[in-house]
A and B are shown apart, each in its own frame.
With several copies, the nearest count.
Chain A
Amino acid sequence: MGTDKRFELRMTGSGGQGLILGSIILAEAAIMEGKIVTQSQVYGAEARGGTTKAELVISSKHIAYPKVTDPDVLAAMTDEGLRQYGGGISRKTEVIIDSSVMTTPDFLNEESCRDLLALPIRSTLVDRLATELGLNIVLLGVIEGLTGVVSVETLRKAIGKHVKKQHLDLNMRALDLGMEMVEAQAKTGIRI
């Protein structure tokens, strides 16, 4: 990420997936690297359960308008999330979807976004680490692998601040898994 550039990330999925925490971890990592951030989410206190959205803007200088307007990355972890909050992307946007639980929607194509990265995130996590916890961290790994928006070390530190000791190892493996998935994909070159 260029020092002056504004980096915008939007993540969407279902309530329990920890996407908001994911965005906070990434925000803290960016702060550790001296960046400015604004993190926000749809706040569902009076709209139970369902779909969630987390947003993060990272910049090396003051962030005036705090919300995502033209995301660099859109990560969608459920169909419903993509339906509700998948708008507002552009040719600039790298879209990540979890192909293990989602069907690729028609509206995502070369015209509407920069790239579509369809990865079987949930199923890979379950297969490889035999757990569903850490889905948000795998996603952070994917985003990190894709953008390198912060250094991996900082990201690990930020994760460490938020997870209990006994889960640290699992989470580090989840992060690695995410990054690996991007690498593998990059090698095959298959995206959409």
Chain B
Amino acid sequence: MNEHVVLMQGNEAVAEGAIAAGVRFYAGYPITPSSEIAEIMARRMPEVGGVFLQMEDEIASIMAIIGASLAGKKVLTATSGPGFSLMQEGLGYACMVEAPIVLLESMRYGPSTGMPTKVSQMDLMQSRWGTHGDHWIIVLSPASVEESYRLTIRAVNLAEKYRNPVIVLSDETISHLREPIDVSVSPTLTDRKLPVEKSGYLPYRTDISLVPAIANIGTGFHTSFTGLVHGESGFQTANGHVAEALVERLRDKLFNNLDDIIQFETDRVEDAEILFVSFGITARGVSETVETLRSRGRKAGALRLVTLFPFDDDRIRQAAGSARTIIVPELNSGQLVLLIKRVFGDSRKVVPMNKINGDLISPQDILDFLQEENL
């Protein structure tokens, strides 16, 4: 028995992962099914010399972590659909000032207050498009407690590296699931790049990485942050060229590094005739189903998206092998399938499989579906 293997709940794994990643500032507002993260952080932050803040609402929460991030801390907030909707304006601001922040969203059944204690994957598209204006966000999707831990660490690292908001898009089931995880491995940590030379310092000047080395507040660089379009100086401008360059850079700093950012997992894709593309908790029912189908002699395979956004059509196409039939099971009325259809056009048969009653898609559900649809 490994001493370091402990039983943890998904929410706890996020909190502990964040702490392992160096997060020392948490601000949040309770909401089912993510409230335990706040509760754990309320206890743990003081223990590790960090700050826990319960704010008056989700808007204040995201702004507080942005402020703390600009002042140099690694930061986290956690919420669920309704709170995530409220955080959208702040999220766009974080994109614009390039504040490294990590946001855990645990998806529950929507729309609106919906069914707070039931699982869904209905906020996928919102995580990409929820705020106004052209923007790019990194979205990671864990499928287990262990991965909640690992991806939270990765989220913090990516946020710091690319100076961009990163969302960990979890769900009610994973948030409350308990699984054993090994916490003994000490993670590799990434810190944001900081400027050294004060003379001639321009906060938003970048090298080829396109990621600026912005000074932390209070370190004597006298930096300027604004959500308005700004040039290298950080100061507002209404110059169209500057705007264009800024928005393009915000995209390219991520898109030039898709190899680093995009992760997925494949399972026997090579010879698969029928391929399941899924993410998060749904992938676990899929994985069992693939096993079953294989044992029955069917050439099934699976592609699980770990990074949901940026979404790269080419990479997906390549990863998907040559299966003629692609099934996209998800706990919503069809969101991922819209993207997968775009990737494959008419070249494959792309079949949505949706469950929207607040339960998971079980292996049996999938088998039944295949039978009903003659797939």
Contacts and interface: CB of A to CB of B under 8 A. Distances in A.
Question: Does A touch B (CB under 8 Å) in the complex?
Answer: yes
B362 A69 contact: yes
Contacts of A67: 173, 360, 362
B178 A43 contact: no
B178 A40 contact: yes
A66 B362 contact: no
Interface residue tally on B, bucketed by range: 20 to 34
Given A31-B1, A32-B1, A46-B116, A40 B288 contact: no
Contacts of A33: 1
Nearest to A33: B1
Contact of A45 (B1, B116, B362, B364): B116
Interface string B172-197: 11001111100000000000000000
Q: Is the interface of A mostly helix, strand, loop or mixed?
A: loop
B285 A40 contact: no
Contact of A36 (B116, B180, B287, B360): B180
Contacts of A36: 179-180
A21 B177 CA distance: 13
Contacts of B116: 45-46
B178 A27 contact: yes
B117 interface: yes
A39 B7 contact: yes
A51 to B, nearest CB: 12
Contacts of A66: 144, 173, 177, 179, 281, 284
B1 A34 contact: yes
A65 B177 contact: no
A33 B35 CA distance: 31
Contacts of A27: 7, 178
A24 B176 CA distance: 12
A67 B285 CA distance: 9
Contacts of B33: 43, 45
A108 B223 CA distance: 41
Q: Is the interface of B mostly helix, strand, loop or mixed?
A: mixed
Contact of A47 (B6, B176, B238): B238
A31 B180 contact: yes
B32 interface: yes
B89 interface: no
A38 interface: yes
A174 B285 CA distance: 37
A120 interface: no
Interface string B97-131: 00000000000000000001100000000000000
A154 to B, nearest CB: 9
A116 B144 CA distance: 34
Nearest to B361: A65
Nearest to A57: B179
A34 B182 CA distance: 12
B291 interface: yes
Interface of A: 24, 27-28, 31-34, 36-47, 63-67, 69
27 contacts: A27-B178, A28-B7, A31-B1, A31-B5, A32-B1, A33-B1, A36-B179, A37-B178, A37-B179, A38-B178, A39-B177, A39-B179, A40-B178, A43-B33, A43-B176, A45-B32, A46-B32, A46-B116, A47-B238, A64-B284, A65-B285, A65-B288, A66-B173, A66-B284, A67-B360, A67-B362, A69-B363
Q: Which 10 A-B pairs have the closest CB atoms?
A: A64-B288, A39-B178, A46-B116, A64-B287, A65-B288, A45-B32, A43-B117, A31-B180, A65-B285, A64-B284
